[in-house]
Amino acid sequence: MKTLVVLDFDHTVVDDNSDTWVIRCTPEQRLPDWLRKTCQKGRWTEYMGRVMAYIGDQAIAEDAIRHVMETVPFTDGMLELLNFIDRNKDKMDCIIISDSNSVFIDWILRAGGVRGAVDQVFTNPAQFDERGYLTVQCCHSHDCAQCPLNLCKRKVLRDFLGSQSHNGVEYRTTFYIGDGGNDRCPAESLAEGDIVMPRKGYTLEKLLCRAGPASASLKPRVVVWSSGCDILSEIISSVN
């Protein structure tokens, strides 16, 4: 039985938001007010579609966008964590579940030399169209009331575990590492013996660790992290 490491991406693997980082490729490194005002709660992916259309309208080429995205900083210790996972693929699998998009994540992981550490990426599909514009689609449809319309990370995780089980792969321990409010849903689906690791000072920690009696129903153990090295130490202890 192997260990499964599940990673969020923005403010977890990387120390910023990849969707807002891309704005640095625009001439003024900011979006016009009319565009920013179109952002609606729970509809971030639709908003990012408009952002990328605007960037395309500015005649910003794919190479220029990629150059900017490859400068997103990794969170302290994350490269060490991913390189450890890559060296121990016989003992562990690693997936990313993110509300970013497939193009950004692939570019950034390859720039860090750690794409091989990640077995699968579950995120919003993206591709460049015939105009050279990056188009972004919603990850999937779901009926979870507490998640954004485009992505329920609990559903993704459950579907992945079910598929793996069907193929004869079971996990002794699942580590779920994240930072945001949309990481609470999958964290609550973990079982006893699993470990959820919220980033210190971020929304997920506040939701899980400062909820008082409401957090008592959580089955997984909660371990707060500040760097990838904290996560690595916890994983090494579990694997050994």
Rg (the chain; Cα; Å): 18
* Max Cα distance, the chain (Å): 54
What's the CA gap between 202 and 180, in Å, rounded?
Answer: 7
* Beta-strand pair 126-128/134-136: antiparallel
Residue 234's Cβ-side half-sphere holds a number of Cα atoms within 13 Å equal to 23
Distance of CA 85 to the CA centre of its chain: 16
What's the CA gap between 109 and 118, in Å, rounded?
Answer: 9
Active-site residues, by number, are 8, 10
Distance of CA 238 to the CA centre of its chain: 22
